[in-house]
Amino acid sequence: MRIATWNINSVRTRTQRALNLISKHDIDVLCLQETKVKDDKFPREVFEDAGLHVTCHGLNQWNGVAIVSKEEPEDVFIGFPGQPGFAKDPEKPQDREARALGARIRGVEIWSLYVPNGREITDRHYDYKLDFLYHLARYAENHAQSKLLMSGDFNIAPRDEDVWDIEAFRGKTHVTEPERAAFQMLEEAGLEEVTRRFTEDQRYTYFDYKGMRFQKNEGMRIDFQLASAPLAQHVTGAQVDMVERAGDKTSDHCPLLADYNLPDFNSVR
């Protein structure tokens, strides 16, 4: 089973790029983030015409997650227990945003996650981000004995080498100790980041549009695939699609792919 995660930065803008990506890599499951569209406006017909199944969760023009798969999901999960909500005004209802979507496919519970950015360390959004990750870790801990995959844009660089210049990030989000500790909680809950060991020569998954970051190789590694032990043992390879990031009018994130050698799945292909 080949699973990919990609912060697409608007699915309506890059529908054809997503279809081309699935075809080029023979992807079985594509997890998308920042689809930026309500469910009733999602271009599902384009994917369905290509023989694919679409599961999506979008509430407005912000955030949004989706899972595009060759097989129809057996179960779908919108949000996870304890997932916090957010509104800029603390006096208004803190509604849950479209940031977490899960689907069970061939017995594997696959999540597409768009972790809050955090904005600034002094912003309420930063506390919201940590709370989101805390409850996500609790969910992972309760499901660590099953085939579980949490993939997506985590908006955290767990190591200094995961950013092009750690000094440029001092005092900013994505590299603070509380954020890194929250990421470590996911690992302590029984998940393993399974792509890094195969992609050391493809260090980054995100390059800002500004400052010609991609051309200068000034990026960040903030997209991951975190698998439970029963699933992680089946990983055979991974790659960062830098060619996609080099394309015209593409997302600022690179697709991140991993291969899982699951006999029950492979036997039906």
Point out the catalytic residue in the list 162, 253, 259, 260: 253
Residue 127 lies in a domain: yes
Flag whether 161 is marked binding. no
The full length of the chain comes to 269
Flag whether 266 is marked binding. no
Residue 20 lies in a domain: yes
Predicted confidence at residue 212, as pLDDT, reads: 94
Predicted confidence at residue 265, as pLDDT, reads: 60
Phi-psi region of 152 (alpha: psi -120 to 50; beta: other; left: phi over 0): left
Residue 113 lies in a domain: yes
153 among known catalytic residues: yes
Rounded to whole angstroms, how far apart are CA atoms 200 and 195?
9
114 among known catalytic residues: yes
174 among known catalytic residues: no
Q: Within a 13 Å sphere around the CA of 152, how many CA atoms are in the beta-carbon half? A: 30
Flag whether 252 is marked binding. yes
Residue 175 lies in a domain: yes
Flag whether 97 is marked binding. no
Tokens (6 digits) for 25: 């890599």
Flag whether 57 is marked binding. no
Q: What is the mean pLDDT of each run of 10 residues along the chain (269 residues)?
A: 98 98 98 98 98 97 97 98 96 97 97 98 97 98 97 98 95 97 98 96 94 96 98 98 96 98 64
Point out the catalytic residue in the list 153, 162, 223, 241: 153
Predicted confidence at residue 120, as pLDDT, reads: 96
Residue 268 lies in a domain: no
Rounded to whole angstroms, how far apart are CA atoms 186 and 133?
8
CATH number for the domain spanning 5: value is 3.60.10.10
Flag whether 155 is marked binding. yes
Tokens (6 digits) for 203: 């260090």
Domain count, the chain: 1
Predicted confidence at residue 263, as pLDDT, reads: 78
Instruction: From 171, 165, 178, select the one nearest 208 (Cα to Cα).
Output: 165
CB atoms within 10 A of CB 56: 26
**Cα–Cα–Cα angle for 195, 197, 200, rounded to 5 degrees:** 100
Residue 267 lies in a domain: no
Point out the catalytic residue in the list 28, 114, 139, 174: 114
Question: Domain range for residue 107?
Answer: 1-258
Q: Within a 13 Å sphere around the CA of 32, how many CA atoms are in the beta-carbon half? A: 31
Residue 145 lies in a domain: yes
Residue 41 lies in a domain: yes
Predicted confidence at residue 33, as pLDDT, reads: 99
Pairing of the two strands 2-7 and 29-33: parallel
